[in-house]
Chains A and B, each alone.
Chain A
């Protein structure tokens, strides 16, 4: 008798839980699909291979910055410096390969290394200097890196990068941009990192409860330094893709990009309070922003209005998340 009752209860609760779990897992994806459906109706040009590949290409820089940004946000932190770090990385790459004519591979390595170094410094500032919040350390880095990028180049752009460097940003495999393939590979690696390695779990643990993580023997400082270093590294990688697309590096590159990256992460369902968020959510967040920009362009919506629109989407996405959290807590 009692067995029957428990099974009954179970089925009931599973059914009740399904839509909620489904929404939390696939809410952003449903949003993306709805958006695509609406745009295909509104514009004949949206649902074409050319245009979709265009969207994919346009999403790549932000997608790479966003996956880097996901890590600090998972630890309840933030990295405001990624746009500037992108700039300082590509300017250094320009100086190495264009101004000094060194091997392109060395240039690529330098770009990634400078990005990672800036991120590492962010981590050191946060953990060893004990600055109170990464908002502050990375705000500082944002200004310092931008300043240096302007100084070392005399505020002038650098043109004429070698083919090898442009490869990531320009080439296609069939119709698919190489840069988008790169994004998918990077996202798979981050997914494995976050879900299948100890350090990945530590990142969630620190974001979920820093004190509990520390008392469980997690070296919190070490993990945070890794987090910010990877965020910087991704800024460097995004810079390489960007240089390929526009065939130049300029010191004001990436200005304001940190905000799009944060938006992608948040639209993708990550919590600003840390501990919650996924790689695939972030990808969908980045795609939603790209689709929205593309669609609004196709519909001849001006850039100013686009900005306002994306702002509304961010607010709506987070509001839906707040509602969801509230229903869980009940």
Chain B
């Protein structure tokens, strides 16, 4: 096998900047047929930019690409498709109201001749065959919306195989899958590998990567740090290379002493659920809620905050029973809910920072029928300097800020309502390492000032790194209540998967 046969896709010296900020610096990468090549790096390390250059969504500023030894330009998604590159994104590209086979042949339906009707029989037959070779018993006639997220993903993979696909890129494919769905996906990946298809695999789950990966390329701050052989490395090495610093720097934990009861939830039953949830959060401690995606953590937070209805149960805020039927009630009671979806639920992106920071508490800025616009601006300027929001311009639109700064604006919104109980849902999702530390410090200062803080997080290192006590949820129930000293990854995972 000579060099050009051994490598399917080769990238050399790839660089890319956005408005002067370099996000990729001279990155080299080579992908071989039949290998699972893992891309690993913190959020903001440049993984998705690299992927987007390979799929033609972005154009590189500098560097060369070779496909089977020949130089290629990938200027758009159609170029990538022609070469045989398929991408499975976190958000699936399937038409929910159509069937499996219709989706698999969407845009390139089979007809008997150019002007005849669709050959449904043939499409169904080929879909069924493909799904079977992947070891799946999914009916080609099932509607996509009737399938679970794991099965949908497999349909998407099968769809890629209807073309002459040589390289499949998977961007965090298991992040929203259950344990058994994950197993299924991983075995499918191995099956693809057997067929000689190359796979670029992005995931943060290190154990999973070691199991299926052949080689692991680690990116940090836009530069390639190393390419490791999966058989010759371990999680410690990967983390060290990925972070470039120790865990202590990543999680600035402060010691507090537990104070008075802050939020007590008693026998809360979400609408339509038979499970009762009870727990208490205190001042002077950070309470973490861990669990797998779909365990009901966000649903619990939404119910407490009055977004979704409850069937029964009581909520006490600083010892006082409080009826919460809407977010208005919750805010009045001193609650704040920093949602996981900043852009979708937290911010009004096309409004200014002062607009966003004060929107939840405009009644405090009222004088007669009118708002005191200058006071509103002054308060926002204060928050911007206190939370070190960049850029420090109240008239900037929220859309223009980075993820970390957007998160600070959301936090400022709740500081503005003088909230006393903060529920954070995935507070550092999509934020780069430096900004994460800032968010943790902010959370620490909230606790120091007497606030009650609850953090929902899927990232175990985060939960273990900053929380004082950890609740674990599984299928809508709390299955463990652990002080930090008794918690570790294994204990939490056991409780999160229902094993006792």
**The stretch of A63-71, A191-199, A235-243 that contacts the partner chain:** A191-199
**Chain A residues within an 8 Å CB radius of B344:** 209, 211-212
A214 vs B331: C-alpha distance when bound (angstroms): 11
Indicate which residue in A198, A202, A204, A275 contacts B366 across the interface (CB closer than 8 Å): A198
**Chain A residues within an 8 Å CB radius of B328:** 217, 219
B359-A211 in contact (CB<8A):
no
Query: A324 to nearest B CB, angstroms?
Result: 13
Name the residue on B nearest A271 (C-beta): B350
A275-B351 in contact (CB<8A):
yes
**Chain B residues within an 8 Å CB radius of A213:** 348, 359
Interface residues on A, range: 20 to 34
**Chain A residues within an 8 Å CB radius of B346:** 212, 215
Cβ-based interface call for B465 (8 A): no
Interface majority SS (helix, strand, loop, mixed), chain A: helix
A211 vs B328: C-alpha distance when bound (angstroms): 13
Among B337, B345, B417, the one with the most A-chain Cβ atoms within 10 Å of its Cβ is: B345
Cβ-based interface call for B130 (8 A): no
Interface, chain B (partner A; CB < 8 A): 305, 307, 326-328, 330-331, 337, 339, 344-351, 355, 359-360, 362-363, 365-366, 369-371, 373, 413, 417
Indicate which residue in A192, A215, A218, A275 contacts B345 across the interface (CB closer than 8 Å): A215
**Chain A residues within an 8 Å CB radius of B366:** 198
Query: A230 to nearest B CB, angstroms?
Result: 15
Q: Besides the contacts A214-B307, A217-B327, what 17 more A-B pairs have beta carbons closer than 8 Å? A: A197-B369, A197-B370, A198-B362, A204-B355, A205-B348, A205-B351, A205-B355, A209-B348, A212-B345, A215-B327, A215-B337, A215-B345, A216-B327, A216-B360, A216-B413, A217-B328, A217-B360
Query: B71 to nearest A CB, angstroms?
Result: 28
Among A209, A213, A217, A276, the one with the most B-chain Cβ atoms within 10 Å of its Cβ is: A217
**Chain B residues within an 8 Å CB radius of A219:** 326, 328
**Chain B residues within an 8 Å CB radius of A202:** 359, 362
**Chain A residues within an 8 Å CB radius of B348:** 204-205, 208-209, 212-213, 275
Query: A13 to nearest B CB, angstroms?
Result: 10
Name the residue on B nearest A214 (C-beta): B327
**Chain B residues within an 8 Å CB radius of A211:** 344-345
For chain A, residues 174 to 214, give those with C-beta under 8 angstroms from any C-beta of chain B: 192, 196-198, 201-202, 204-205, 208-209, 211-214
Query: A24 to nearest B CB, angstroms?
Result: 12
A196-B350 in contact (CB<8A):
no
B327-A201 in contact (CB<8A):
no
Among A204, A209, A275, A276, the one with the most B-chain Cβ atoms within 10 Å of its Cβ is: A209
**Chain B residues within an 8 Å CB radius of A198:** 362-363, 365-366, 371
A206 vs B149: C-alpha distance when bound (angstroms): 31
A275-B371 in contact (CB<8A):
no
**Chain A residues within an 8 Å CB radius of B337:** 215
Name the residue on A nearest B329 (C-beta): A217
Query: B382 to nearest A CB, angstroms?
Result: 19
